[in-house]
Structure 1
């Protein structure tokens, strides 16, 4: 927008009309300010500048929430213009569309624009706080720090444009806030007050001058969303001037109404990450930033819904929401808006933690989640959210309304007090049942059982199952994420069930352990067939965070997991993402009574060109043919007859000279499935190292491996009995080769390899 007569006293103006590039013009001084952004220089991706979007006039700058900011060097001209040692008046006007809110760590504001030092009581700060509250704060000459907060009801809405103005007028002795052209708050300051200059402090847009540091890498209190038309004046604007500047934007570009904002313009965009050479392409993942476990799978109206623990601010563990995907085939997923966010309420202001989904009495999906409320004791309870489907008929189930009260609040004597989370709920003809992860004081992890007739009022039934921590110390003091699935009847006609848990706490081995056993419906308790738990996956902390469902379409039991990223915070910062889902697994009771584990058949729809098909070759003959097959997105099926081999397997992600490679093999003497990552990468910052593996009894069968390579993901399924999930981050781009490997005369009974296609 051009500078008009009403712009007298204009110190600085950023129109954000560039629409591309890595700098933005401050038009009064004609200085081009650098935009800090993680992918300006990308290590694993193509270089790409910050994201620009439609603004209120022209373009606006999209701030990613963890790396985007603008640094402006205040020049002498600006100081002379009223920014001498003290400012007697200051006005700020800016259009903002927040994408998400910060949790409010250490009580600091997410900065919209600031040049301040609160400790020294200098400068000014305009910013947001928890749940959309916002404030203008100034340091006054004489050492007072003055804060003016927007009153309740005037929070800044997510995914909508708001026009924010803050006015300090020391001569008049007042400080004011305006929202969308209307005054909403004012406070007196002593007449003749002046703002103390924040010496040796940069003017920052989108980043707090004194942001908190998380994991020694991530600056918190950074703005997430779009900003446009930022103006700073060295005089106090009148309410008429503020109203006029608001109306000007509405009338000039938007027919007199508040500027609309398309969700697609502000949502997290996965496009910049698609070229990342380590990011999986056919595994489900958030569009960007952080996820931990996927959970609450449910089928409704022809679609599968899957939710996930998500920090929309950046690729770090912080303020957790429920992300949401939908799919018609369990393979190709669409990103939907965040389903559940922490809100300013007494239910879950501090986090929406893991849970599950079940059907209500009308057959509609209901979400059960762990409500985080740090002002309550304990700070975790079980809560409910219902879909607005009966009102809006939206098959994507985008909108959810939380039930205002917790459903289940932990009482003393109900498990380990203070650890009470991750409800797993199911329904049968008699009512609803819930398992909640906890422990038994002084004893060990436990899943606690609850029952309800109406899904709202729950009765505690006691521990569903608890193991002997003296005997199995690796099962830890607390269990998270219990999952309970029916396996059908065994060959003796006995109904069998599967219980999964994830131990945490001192001494716990954080893996997915399971038991097969029977349900005592009267006691609502579980009786395992064997006391000792088993592992589904032997990849050592890469297959975690289980959730599960009975697929009503096919009757299968399907298990979802998080595939841990296995990286440092520094590399997650540079990459812009952390973690993804594992492939969905079908789990079932085999004829021999063991648990069968297979990737779902629908994944075959991703097969592209068949790269190899061979039968009855020696390892050497097969390796000649394998020389022509390269890739980091492949499906491999191979059956190997060991002959006299003690160890037998396949190398993947090999460089031509063998400098980098990952070896997956079976040790017949030890009956172990093993991954050797000692040569996986030369990158000094990556963590993928060492040798991992675990027990697998083949009982004389040939070794049958079903392997999925997807960039940094390696998932191997052995003989339908065990999986091994791991991560590989080769430093070299030519680490794409394959080679069969063994220490004896072995026969390749069969081998088939396909290219795999991206689901995005």
Structure 2
């Protein structure tokens, strides 16, 4: 245990030196407090204790931002009816934030607190938006006093800071100290008393009055490291605060303790054993993601970003997460690339966008800047890599351009809905599509052009929906993606436009048109008015982004694979959503859009489990009897014979009580997934039959299926995909079975084990 400079007046002390286990000793009372943590008990993965790391002194405790906290019961007053008012209170703690909270309802993410807001009693030391922090106390008589850190004294992320808060009622003072020095003070009436909050626990890492989100998630939780928490019933002097700070510095050679990024970063290790978490699909290390976006290739590496809440597995306070890869298959986690900051650009969220190259060929990021104090609260902004300045080969550091590039004016699109810029460059300059709509009409992609990447001119709607004919295309489009597809047989240059409709009546899927580009007017002319779907899996393949791969010339599409779970199960699991497999999209010989998973995925193949040709249904199933798995790649060709419905059951329990059926309906010309028996878990949502149109035009059904824990992706004849989720309750739901309603021939079938990319 760390040495204590002065025990006098010390009421509570957590050294956090345990380094293991799910309790933390409060040294004065010798009470071992339970540390609440989602994986103390685990339904889908191996139980694991809270995360301990190297601290400022000895060990420290890592708080995950949504489930980790300590409740320490306190007996108010002595048994003889002693005082319930304090003349003094001091708190000292070493703090290393990993993320900042948004500050819903003006509340603090608590470091330590014991207060009753209604009665204006107790105390609260916590953090607010963008690293600001505050000490707040309830005084006898019902006054609530707040002292805030001044500008320039915010707590930096991923670094140790020493924080002290002092209430001195006799002197009538309240003070804040940062790293041993006073930074703020306020006067109180002399003789003030702090009113203790009766019947209230001391909470560490959680606000006594946290707001509940989605009926499950407590906001205002601390994310990061805490160490050496001390609470005194006396007012520490400036000399005592400085001495306490120096004590820690002296143990580190006279400098502030250094924190390794690997000790504080989100850790995917506790999630690796989760039996539902995909192992070869790209995912954040933990917590929440929605769409991946802004893919770009630079200096031998692919970069992919994603919408991310680093605080927990819920939608809030969006940042840009970041992965890097050499092969589009094996990805490395990098630090958050862009985060909301205390500025006039994007204090309230860094929303989706894209990547392009500047005039020097360096990567730039175009993003949707969220600023709720502006109208509209969405604009297009830019960030540059520091690559040329300091090397930075992984493009970890980005500098935001201080002003928005494009601010929506009234009369341009649906005012207030203006987001997700997709930018590309050619010899004539830069071009941008921005998702929006037409006032009183349907969704639209709006077109802009620039000669210098900074000054943009509005060119009008690039393409808009006829919402009367196609109401499912909705009033607003998000995430436009635009690709060249090359020339068709007549030598006409063809292009691909992808959009994601949202709003009233919208079917939130990835719709596409093929057509021509009118470059002079910067508009799109579709070959057919009615859009098509890439994927028929019903809201499991969404959030499109894409790139033309300069290494291979392919058009590659990235998506989010929606998790299809309740907030309660996402809380228990510690993660929400993952990316879909990268797809190559291309113009086929027959003029249709070709859709295939990228070939690099073959590098994940392990042992070949089965290879057969020209077998009856019964013969094939005998051979399939020994093949089990939840991480498999399957190639299957079926000649229907007399069958009109045929396909394959996956994730099947031996008795068939749980199974998922992927099949083709010849009469309806539909590719379908039957999930009526997928799971018996009472909390999971996956159920029913989903699917959509697939014209095989007399071809055999050729399925290319990827199983990856809860992920099921079926690619049919290079034309359509069906992405869905399965969460079997039974651990033995690992079997496969060919299925049909008549005699059929399995022309060929190959199965491989697949390996984790992590």
Task: Give TM-score, length-normalised by structure 2.
Answer: 0.99
Does 1:51 pair with 2:12? Answer: no
Any conservation in 1 of the 2:632–2:707 contact (CA below 8 Å)? yes
Q: Any conservation in 1 of the 2:73–2:200 contact (CA below 8 Å)? A: no
Report what 1:222 is aligned to.
221
Structure 1 pair 417/337, CA: closer, same or farther in 2 (3 Å)?
A: same
Q: Which of 716, 739, 748 matches 1:750?
A: 748
How far apart, CA to CA, are the structure 1 residues paired with 2:237 and 2:211? 35
User: Does the CA contact (< 8 Å) of 2:293 and 2:304 recur in 1?
Assistant: yes
**Matches of 1:676 and 1:751 in 2, distance apart?**
21
Deviation of residue 199 (structure 1)? Answer: 1.1
The alpha-carbon deviation at position 333 of structure 1 amounts to 0.1
SS at match of 1:38: coil
Q: Structure 1 length as normaliser, TM-score?
A: 0.99
1:517-596 matches, within 5 Å, as 517-596=515-594
**320, 325, 328: which is aligned to 2:326?**
328
**1-side partners of 2:230 and 2:80: how far apart?**
15
CA contact (8 A) 2:653 2:735 kept: yes
> Is the Cα–Cα contact under 8 Å of residues 2 and 58 in structure 2 kept in the other structure?
no
> What aligned pairs does 1:479-494 form with structure 2 within 5 A after superposition?
479-494=477-492
Task: Give the aligned partner of residue 209 of structure 1.
Answer: 208
Residues 82 and 404 (structure 1 numbering): CA distance in 2 closer, same or farther, change over 3 Å?
A: farther
**For each residue in 1:69-101, what CA deviation from the matched residue of structure 2 results, as whole angstroms up to 9, or x when unmatched?**
00101146x758998311110000000100000
Is the Cα contact below 8 Å between 1:84 and 1:197 reproduced in 2?
no
Q: How big is each residue's C-alpha offset from its partner over 1:204-234, in whole Å with a ceiling of 9 and x where there is no partner? A: 0000000000000000000000000000000
Q: 2:216 and 2:734 mapped to 1: Cα distance?
A: 31
Choose the corresponding residue for 1:619, options 585, 601, 617.
Answer: 617
Cα pair distance change 1:79/1:219, threshold 3 Å: farther
Task: Write the distance in 2 (CA, Å) between the matches of 1:758 and 1:545.
Answer: 24
2:6 is paired with a residue whose SS is helix
The reply to whether residue 284 of structure 1 matches residue 287 of structure 2 is no
Superposition map of 1:191-206 within 5 A: 191-206=190-205
Where do 5+ consecutive residues of structure 2 fail to align?
none
CA distance in structure 1 between the aligned counterparts of 2:296 and 2:336, rounded to whole angstroms: 16
Q: Deviations over 1:382-417 (max 9, x none)?
A: 000000001111110000000000000000000000
Q: Distance in 2 between matches of 1:2 and 1:303?
A: 45
Q: Measure, in 2, the Cα distance between the counterparts of 1:526 and 1:93.
A: 62
Q: Answer yes or no: is the 8 Å Cα contact 2:498–2:510 preserved in 1.
A: yes
Shift of 1:366: 0.4
Give 1:40's aligned residue.
40
Pick closer, same or farther for the CA change 1:356–1:4 going to 2, 3 Å: closer
d(CA) in 2 for partners of 1:152 and 1:327?
39
Counterpart mapping for 1:19-30 below 5 A: 19-30=19-30
**Counterpart position of 1:140:** 139
Q: What's the secondary structure of 1:704's corresponding residue? A: strand
Give 1:54 deviation, angstroms: 0.3
Deviation of 1:644 (Å): 1.3
Structure 2 residue matching 1:39: 3-state secondary structure: coil
Identify the residue that residue 348 of structure 1 maps to in structure 2.
346
- In structure 2, the residue corresponding to 1:624 is in which secondary structure? helix
Deviations 1:541-592 (CA, angstroms, capped at 9, x unpaired): 0000000000000000000000000000000000000000000000000011
Q: Please say if residues 356 and 367 of structure 1, whose CA atoms lie closer than 8 Å, have aligned partners that are also in contact.
A: yes
Greater shift, 78-87 or 431-440, is seen at: 78-87
| Counterparts of 1:492 and 1:591, CA distance in 2 | 11
Asked if 1:727 is matched to 2:717, the reply is no
Q: What residue number does 2:304 align with?
A: 306
Residue equivalent to 1:170: 169
Would you say 1:659 and 2:670 are equivalent positions?
no
Question: Quick one: which of 596, 604, 607 aligns to 1:606?
Answer: 604
Offset of residue 745 of structure 1: 1.0
**Contact residue 444 and residue 468 of structure 1 kept, 8 A:** yes
Aligned residue number for residue 259 of structure 1: 257
Of residues 123-132 and 390-399 in structure 1, the stretch that sits farther from structure 2 once superposed is 390-399
Distance 1:82 1:46, change over 3 A: farther
Distance in 1 (CA, whole Å) between partners of 2:60 and 2:697 is 64
Asked whether the 8 Å contact 2:53–2:62 carries over to 1, the reply is: yes
In 1, are the aligned partners of 2:5 and 2:244 still within 8 Å (CA)? no
8 Å Cα contact 1:83/1:197 also seen in 2: no
Distance 2:75 2:504 in 1: 55
- Kept in 2, the 8 Å contact 1:384–1:406? The answer is yes
Q: Give deviations 1:420-450, integer Å, cap 9, x for gaps.
A: 0000000000000000000001110000000
| 1:194/1:489 CA distance change after superposition, 3 Å | same
* Deviation digits for residues 691-724 of structure 1 (CA, Å, limit 9, x no counterpart): 0000000000000000000000000000000000
1:458 aligns with 456
Deviations 1:327-363 (A, max 9, x none): 0000000000000000000000000000000000000
Query: Which whole-Å CA distance do the structure 2 matches of 1:84 and 1:288 have between them?
Result: 46
- Corresponding residue for 1:94? 93
**Maintained 8 Å contact 1:475/1:503:** yes
* Whole-angstrom CA distance in 1 between matches of 2:453 and 2:239: 54
Q: Which residue of 2 aligns with 1:11?
A: 11
Please name the residue that 2:673 is paired with: 675
Aligned pair count? 758
CA distance in 2, matches of 1:689, 1:750: 30
Cα offset, 1:467, TM superposition:
1.6
Task: Deviation per CA, 1:292-326: give whole Å up to 9, x if none.
Answer: 00000000000000000000000000000000000
Question: Aligned partners of 2:297 and 2:595: how far apart in 1?
Answer: 21
How far apart in 1 are the matches of 2:630 and 2:3? 54
- Correspondence for 1:237: 236
Report Cα offsets for 1:242-278 as digits up to 9, x if no partner.
Answer: 0000000000x21000000000000000000000000
Which residue number in structure 2 is paired with residue 366 of structure 1?
Answer: 364
> Structure 1 residue 118: deviation in Å?
1.8
* CA distance 1:562–1:82, change in 2 (3 Å): farther
Structure 1 residues 350 and 83, CA gap change in structure 2 (3 angstroms): farther
1:373 deviates by 0.1
